[in-house]
Amino acid sequence: MEIKKAVIPAAGLGTRFLPITKTIPKEMLPIVDKPVIHYVVEEAVNSGIKEILIITNKNKKAIEDYFDKFDEIENEIKKSNKEELLPLIRDTCNLADIYYVRQKELKGLGHAISCAKAFVGNQPFAVLLGDDLVDSKVPCLKQLINCYSKYNSPILGVQAIDKKDVVKYGIIDGIPLEDGTYKIKSMVEKPKVSEAPSNIAVLGRYILTPQIFDILEKTEPGKNGEVQLTDALKVLAQQRPIYAYHFEGKRYDIGDKFGFLQANIDYALKRKELRKSLIIYLQAVLKNLNKV
């Protein structure tokens, strides 16, 4: 079946970015001049997604406002004779058909995805984490969709990470197949380094099937007292094959301060109007550091 719907969980508190996330959702942190969730939505749209559900909470109204129409700003732009800016406003609210539902209790990623059951219905769907950014020639989600069309089973986006970082992610135990694909034997959520079955981590992109919802309803809270998607996927793997695809591209964890800084520098370097000045600045910074 064609993947037409995507779910973007964006209800997390963003505690790694306090105090700014007291008032600004981490998904709204800017990468140059667009919030990270804008890039995530664009990835979904460029992968052929028609409808998107964003899982929010009561403190994330800024996300809904961002993708809405702003007549007041458009009128002010017209009065100022700056019509060249209008596409920046209009394109944002025309990216896709976007819907919202609130996760009333923050019980983890698995619980957040379960909130999408009515939206998804009886069809496979994509999941993109709202604070994970992937820079790639072929959209990351499109790569997973292509893999799904081959195996017709759930696909998890993975990459190899530094062994010391396995404590931050869901880690797979898989059998290598062809073209960067693994057949998953088992998974573990945020294991100790000594207990990790590999250094292949699930990194914020999934193609799931609707069977996951019944499993999530029966999944007890696990790590950190939250309903873990990893635990539900382990059960699903006993019912049908699950595959992992080693996607191409550079992934940024925007919920992490260093990941946020990396993304801003790298994306600014892509911008013609910023690249030269930024390179000169970075060279000056490096030169001054070398003097210390």
The CATH number assigned to the domain holding 195 equals 3.90.550.10
Environment class of residue 227 by beta-carbon count within 10 Å: exposed (0-12), middle (13-18) or buried (19+)?
buried
Residue 67's SS3 state is coil
Mean pLDDT of the chain: 91
Residues 6 or more apart whose CB falls under 8 angstroms from that of 290 comprise none
Domains of the chain: total: 1
Whole-model pTM: value is 0.92
Is 277 within the bounds of a domain? Answer: no
Note the residue count of the chain.
Answer: 292
pLDDT digits (tens, 9 = 90+) for 80-109: 777 777 777 778 888 889 999 999 888 999
Is 245 within the bounds of a domain? Answer: yes
Is 265 within the bounds of a domain? Answer: no
Is 285 within the bounds of a domain? Answer: no
Is 287 within the bounds of a domain? Answer: no
* Residue among 103, 114, 102 nearest 213 (CA): 114
Boundaries of domain holding 209: 5-255
Other C-beta atoms within 10 Å of 146: how many? Answer: 14
- Return the sign of the alpha-carbon dihedral for residues 103, 132, 39, 71: positive
pLDDT digits (tens, 9 = 90+) for 185-241: 988 888 999 999 999 999 999 999 999 999 999 998 877 788 889 899 999 998 999
* Residue among 108, 102, 2, 104 nearest 47 (CA): 2
Per-position DSSP letters for 247-260, written without gaps between them: --SEEEETTSHHHH
Amino acid, single-letter form, for residue 175: I
How does DSSP classify residue 152?
Answer: -
Is 230 within the bounds of a domain? Answer: yes
Is 270 within the bounds of a domain? Answer: no
Residues 6 or more apart whose CB falls under 8 angstroms from that of 95 comprise 38, 41, 42, 45, 67
pLDDT digits (tens, 9 = 90+) for 109-138: 999 999 999 999 999 999 999 889 999 999
Is 291 within the bounds of a domain? Answer: no
